[in-house]
Amino acid sequence: MNATPVIAIHGGAGTIVRHAMNAEAEARYHAALTDILSAAQRVLADGGSALDAVTEAVRLLEDCPLFNAGHGAVFTAAGTHELDASVMDGATLEAGAISCVTRVKNPVLAARRVLDVSDHVMFTGPGAEAFAAAQGLEFVDPSYFYTEARHQQWLNARGTSGTMLDHDAMTKFAFSNDPRDPIDPIDPDRKFGTVGAVALDANGHLAAATSTGGITNKQAGRVGDAPLIGAGCYANDATCAVSTTGTGEMFIRMLAAYDVSAQMEYRGASLEDASNDVVMMKLPRIEGRGGLVAVDAKGNVVLPFNTEGMYRGFARVGEAPVTAIYR
């Protein structure tokens, strides 16, 4: 008998900022995570595939302005939005990825179409948009990705010398009464804004998906780990499904997502041991900060991170979703 289907998601990792830690802010994040988990849980409960469940979860995370992906994505140095996403099917090892798109409403749906219909795995830039258009995906005006909070953060970042790893101006919105304003209990200057999902379905198949708006005020054209198979996203029925969030460059250099799988396959590590080794040992060696969510074919779920907090949760079919922010 197969294990009970389960979905796990993340919405970014980082450091707790005390003055933004209020009950209302936390409740808003818990509610968003719970709603998204519930929707993906229904996909699995209805017999849907892990691939469909992670695609739906990430689509909803993209649509939610609280998270840095899709609507609510951060601004590049050029004042634009560049979005990346990837998805992988553990049953077939097929994968799809999209980077640097600017007008595709849901990058994860474009990545999914690459997986479903293309002989290729990855498209970037205008070629990626042309592929998405040919596939009939929904396009939006770039203003769709605009949120006042992200714009303010970008204006602030422009006054500094470097990029900001996430939304520095967020704290000023912590006590806003406008429900559209992100209120972010995790220190926006120490938060890594990627979203992702992993799932196990009733047939024992695994899948993973990841999406991001990148880092505030980043140089145009920078590609992080989110659209890179093996770095930000990996799935293999024989081992596990993994989606990561963190300082993307270090996750690329460590092949963080695939390394969890490789440790399970080649040294017989458990999902927990392999994930902890990557997040708590290997990544810190090169100052890599962040975390991941992962699931194996037995239904084990892990959500490790080496920061003070990570927006996260999981939901087994037939059980209430569990969400968390801090350690």
State yes or no: 285 annotated in a binding site: no
Q: Is 220 in the site for its own copies (CB under 8 A)?
A: yes
- What part of residues 151-190 is at the interface with its own copies (CB under 8 A)? 162-163
State yes or no: 247 annotated in a binding site: yes
Q: Is 94 in the site for its own copies (CB under 8 A)?
A: yes
- The owner of tokens 């219909």 is 117
Q: How far apart are CA 70 and CA 30, in angstroms?
A: 19
The partner residues of 95 in beta bridges, in order of sequence, read: 88
Q: Is 142 in the site for its own copies (CB under 8 A)?
A: no
Q: How far apart are CA 289 and CA 168, in angstroms?
A: 17
Q: Is 91 in the site for its own copies (CB under 8 A)?
A: no
Stretch 239-278: interaction string toward its own copies, x if CB under 8 A: ---------xx--xxxx--xx--xx-xxx-----------
CB 58 within 8 A of CB 209: yes
State yes or no: 14 annotated in a binding site: no
For its own copies, the closer of residues 74 and 128 by Cβ is: 128
Task: Measure Cα distances from 190 to 15, 88, 168, 210 in Å.
Answer: 5, 28, 8, 20
Task: List all residues 6 or more positions away from 156 whose beta carbon is below 8 Å from its beta carbon.
Answer: 164, 168, 169
- The CB-of-107 to its own copies minimum distance in angstroms stands at 14
For its own copies, the closer of residues 26 and 273 by Cβ is: 273
Q: Is 75 in the site for its own copies (CB under 8 A)?
A: no
Q: How far apart are CA 26 and CA 172, in angstroms?
A: 15
Q: Is 117 in the site for its own copies (CB under 8 A)?
A: no
For its own copies, the closer of residues 157 and 325 by Cβ is: 157
Exposure on the CB side of residue 199, measured as CA atoms within 13 A: 37
Task: Measure Cα distances from 246 to 12, 132, 148, 194 in Å.
Answer: 7, 27, 24, 7
SS3 category, 70: coil
State yes or no: 253 annotated in a binding site: no
State yes or no: 245 annotated in a binding site: yes
Active-site amino acid positions: 194
Can you give the binding site for its own copies, defined by CB under 8 A?
88, 93-95, 97, 99-100, 119-128, 130-131, 162-163, 218-224, 228-231, 234, 248-249, 252-255, 258-259, 262-263, 265-267, 286
